[in-house]
Amino acid sequence: MAKRTPFYDLHLKAHARIVDFAGWDMPLHYGSQLNEHHQVRQHAGMFDVSHMGVVDVQGAESSAYLRRLLANDVHRLTAGKALYTCMLNEQGGVIDDLIVYKLAEDQYRIVINAGTREKDIAWMRMQAEAFDITLTEHHDLSILAIQGPEIKNKIATLFPADKTEIIHPLKPFHFASFNDCFIARTGYTGEDGYEMIFPAKDAAKWWNACLAADITPCGLGARDTLRLEAGLNLYGSDMDESVTPLESNLAWTVILEPKERIFIGRPALEKQSAEGVKRRLVGLVLDGPGVIRNHQKVIIAGDGEGEVTSGGYSPTLEKSIALARVPADIGSHCFVEIRNKQIAAQVIKPPFVRHGKKVF
Amino acid sequence: MSNIPPKLQYTKTHEWIRKDQEFLTIGITDHAQTMLGDLVYVELPEIETSLDSGQECAVVESVKAAADIYCPVPGEVVEINDAVIENPQLINQDPYGKGWLIRVRPHEQAPSELLNADEYSRVVASEAH
């Protein structure tokens, strides 16, 4: 029996086409994935992402624990700020990517992927044994992402004036925590927006308030095309335990200063770095017709091969784009083998689209 | 429930076939377009291409996946729908009308293994479980 989020009945009511995602019954789209994509780029959309895991870390050694567990450094956070990071194994492979929020001096909240939830928790518990901390996995929370250029103007219709005054000035990766709702200026679409976490019992209240504010329900389909245009990696496709952040366009999330901070995977990354990183994750823009798909072969004239990790159609650019893992010294052009034909593509550094505009 | 017009014939691979005088017009069914989601790219054969029965003759790609279209009868392509190349979403909007794909002149009588609407609805129903 597949798991369902507190929004499940609301999805059905909104005519969602439900698909299985990591053991969860989730909405793929509510009629048109393309329309939902454009709504988020041009107006406002909402996504149920309650299948993701919420774990709180509490205790005197919370910071020390997370500085060991994560490749990015929570030492850079003050209460009310968040950061994006990878959680690595000893070989430097990516166990998961996640966002960690600093709630208070000895208190953090972590949001992890649905597909890696059990494995993440097991790893986190194992690493926690050496520290004076408590891990609490929540099963009573819902997460709703509200995204798009018009979202900021809709905050005042969703929240009372005193809370709106607190939410409006939030900078990217800053958050506010109220009794009934936690709201962070983060997202997975390349547009401005927020992610809200609240008790599961309030799911219908928030969903209906967003509907009334003209925020369009969007499914996992649009979430995928939006994140791909934004050049954001999808765990399980663009990275997994067999690759490091250095091979995944995520070197910027690995903090090597101070040298004394020995996070898990650090020695492996230093070794890889010293030997030279041989593969990297790049963006591809197809010159010709067709659609790039996952696992298609990338051919670089005289320089070997790579593989598409996320391929698809960009509704904003109206052409096919992809993320691909390729030899590190790839030039500005390559070919993608699509259905036995080699189609030329441009190599770019992601993102493809930011705030509704082409950026490469 | 997907739309399955009684007057058309169907294949197990979700093509529909309509007899127009001596020609056969071929497209994909409402069920097929629903399963694929928004279509974004269509590749059609050249006019005068000679096709064997069961030969791959076109590709339709959605945001989600690519699907091969098979020609259910041996024949020659006499017309293609340029409008769906320009606007693949016509297939989503009107799969049995403006979203048709190719028209062929069959080399022989339409084969008997084509399905009628009742038979095709059972194929669709069996896939739903």
- What was the ipTM of the complex prediction? 0.87
Picking from A88, A92, A66, the residue whose alpha carbon sits closest to that of residue A77 is A66
Q: What is the pLDDT of residues A59-86, one digit of tens each?
A: 999 999 999 999 999 999 999 999 999 9
Per CB-CB distance under 8 Å, the chain A contacts of B37 are 17, 28-29, 33, 221
* Co-location of A216 and A288 in the same domain: no
Q: Which two tokens stand for residue A270?
A: 């230093």
Residue B22 lies in a domain: yes
Structural domain that includes position A305:
278-358
**Domain count of chain B?**
1
- Closest listed residue to residue A235, CA positions, set A121, A88, A358, A70: A88
Q: Where are the alpha helices (DSSP H) in A171-238?
A: 203-212, 220-229
Amino acid identity of residue A197, one-letter, is: I
Contact A144, A49 (CB under 8 A): yes
> What are the tens digits of pLDDT across the range B51-102?
988 889 999 999 989 999 998 889 999 999 999 999 999 999 999 999 999 9
Residue indicated by tokens 């994935």: A33
Number of inter-chain CB pairs under 8 A, A vs B? 39
* Closest listed residue to residue A335, CA positions, set A291, A281, A293, A298: A298
- Nearest residue on chain A to B42, alpha-carbon basis: A290
Q: What are phi and psi of A223, to 5 degrees?
A: -60, -40
Q: What is the pTM of this model?
A: 0.95
CATH number at residue A352: 2.40.30.110
What confidence category does residue A285 fall into, taking pLDDT thresholds of 50, 70 and 90?
A: very high
- In this complex, the residue of B43, B63, B92 whose CB is nearest that of residue A225 is B63
In the structure encoding, which two tokens stand for residue B21, read together? 């005088």
Q: Decide if A120 is inside a domain.
A: no
Of A199, A229, A259, the last residue of a domain is A229
Is residue B4 situated within a structural domain?
no
Q: Which two tokens stand for residue A35?
A: 């329309």
Task: Say whether A34 and B61 touch across the interface (CB within 8 A).
Answer: no
- Chain B: closest CA distance from residue A74 (Å): 37
What gap in Å lies between CA B92 and CA A300, rounded to an integer? 36
CATH of the domain at A195: 3.30.1360.120
Residue B2 inside a domain? The answer is no
In a domain? residue A108: no
Say if A17 falls within a structural domain: yes
Q: Is residue B1 part of a domain?
A: no
For residues A162 and A44, state if they share a domain.
yes
Number of domains in chain A: 2
Same domain, A172 and A31: yes
Give B113's pLDDT tier (boundaries 50, 70, 90).
confident
Name every chain A residue with its beta carbon within 8 A of the beta carbon of B42.
Answer: none
Q: Residue B21 sits in a domain of what CATH number?
A: 2.40.50.100
Tokens of A280: 């990297």
Retrieve residue A324's tokens. 């691909």
Q: Residue A115 corresponds to which tokens in the numbers above?
A: 């597909």
The answer to whether A5 and A24 have CB atoms below 8 angstroms apart is: yes
The reported pLDDT for the residue numbered B110 is 60
Residue given tokens 């441009």 in the structure block: A346
> Residue B27 is part of which domain span?
9-124
